[in-house]
Amino acid sequence: MIKTVLLVDDEPDIRTIGSMSLSRVGKLEVRTAASGAEALRMAGETIPDLILLDVMMPEMDGPATLVALRAIPALAATPVIFMTAKVLRDEVDRWLSLGAIGVIRKPFDPMKLPDEVRALVAGRA
């Protein structure tokens, strides 16, 4: 059962909408990070139950952030879901092969996002 989510996206609007969806609709406790580096710092301080990670970010992108997260022992098992506006299947497969439990495509429906997230986490268990 997940309670806390770390949402990582360089777009402030999407951080606002994503966190509103996850907290108001999904009743989850949400923190947001605007970059991979910030995500690493925040996740290291307080370990979330789940990390939602945007793929295309300047400097450290989603896959690179995931690899860095995995290097932190406490975060080695934290489930990570990618969010992306790109849809090429071979790319998606490659991200999944890095150990993410799923990919959520943008644009997402904010009323359904929490359910999708929970379904992916449940599917892994």
Partner 1 sequence: MKPAPLPENEQERLASLARTRLLDSVTEVTFDDFARIAAEIAGTPIALVTLIDEHRQWFKARVGIAATETPRDQAFCAHAILEDGLFEVPDARADERFHDNPLVVGEPYVRFYAGAPIEGDGKQKLGTVCVVDHVARTLTPPQREALTSLSRLISAHIELRRKSLELAELHREAVENAARLRLNTELLDLANDMILVKDFAGHILYWNQGAERAYGYTRDEALGQIAHDLLRTTYSGSRQAVVEILERDGYWEGELVRAKKDGAQLIVGSRWVLQRDDKGAPRAILELSSDITRRKEVQRMKDEFVSIVSHELRTPLTSIRGALGLLEGGVVGELPGEALELVKIARSNSDRLIRLVNDILDLEKMEAGKLELDPREISARAVIDGVVRALETLAQQAELRVRVEAPPELRLVADEDRVTQLLTNLVSNAIKFSPPNTTVTVSAERRGPRTVRLAVRDQGPGIPPDQLGKLFGKFQQVDASDQRRRGGTGLGLSISKAIAEQHGGAIGVETLPGKGALFWADLPAKAVSTMRSVAHGPRRLVLLVDARGTLSQALSPLLAEEGCVVARASDLAEAERWLDNSHPAAVIVDVDLPDSHALDIVEALSRRFTPDESPTIVLTGRLPDDDRRAAPLPVEWVLDPLDDQSIKHALRWGRRKGGVPRVLLIEDDAGFRTVMAARLRTLGVEVLEAGDAESALEAVRTTAPDLIVLDIGLPGRDGFDVVAELRQERARSTPLIVYTARDLGHEERVELSLGITRWLTKSRTDEEHFVQAVRELLSGLLPSTQP
Which residues bind to partner 1, rule: CB under 8 A?
11, 13-14, 17-18, 20-21, 24-25, 56, 85-90, 94, 97, 106-111
Q: Pick between residue 4 and residue 23 the one whose CB is nearest to partner 1.
A: 23
In the complex, the smallest distance separating the C-beta of residue 56 from partner 1, rounded to whole angstroms, is 6
Q: Length of the chain in residues, anyone?
A: 125
Tokens found for residue 1: 């059962």
Q: Pick between residue 14 and residue 75 the one whose CB is nearest to partner 1.
A: 14
DSSP-derived secondary structure letter, 107: S
In the complex, the smallest distance separating the C-beta of residue 46 from partner 1, rounded to whole angstroms, is 25
Tokens found for residue 24: 């108001």
DSSP-derived secondary structure letter, 59: S
CB atoms within 10 A of CB 63: 18
In the complex, the smallest distance separating the C-beta of residue 11 from partner 1, rounded to whole angstroms, is 6
Q: Pick between residue 40 and residue 53 the one whose CB is nearest to partner 1.
A: 53
CB atoms within 10 A of CB 32: 20
The Cα-based distances of 38 to 10, 31, 51, 73, 84 in angstroms read 10, 11, 13, 18, 19
In the complex, the smallest distance separating the C-beta of residue 107 from partner 1, rounded to whole angstroms, is 4
Q: Pick between residue 15 and residue 40 the one whose CB is nearest to partner 1.
A: 15
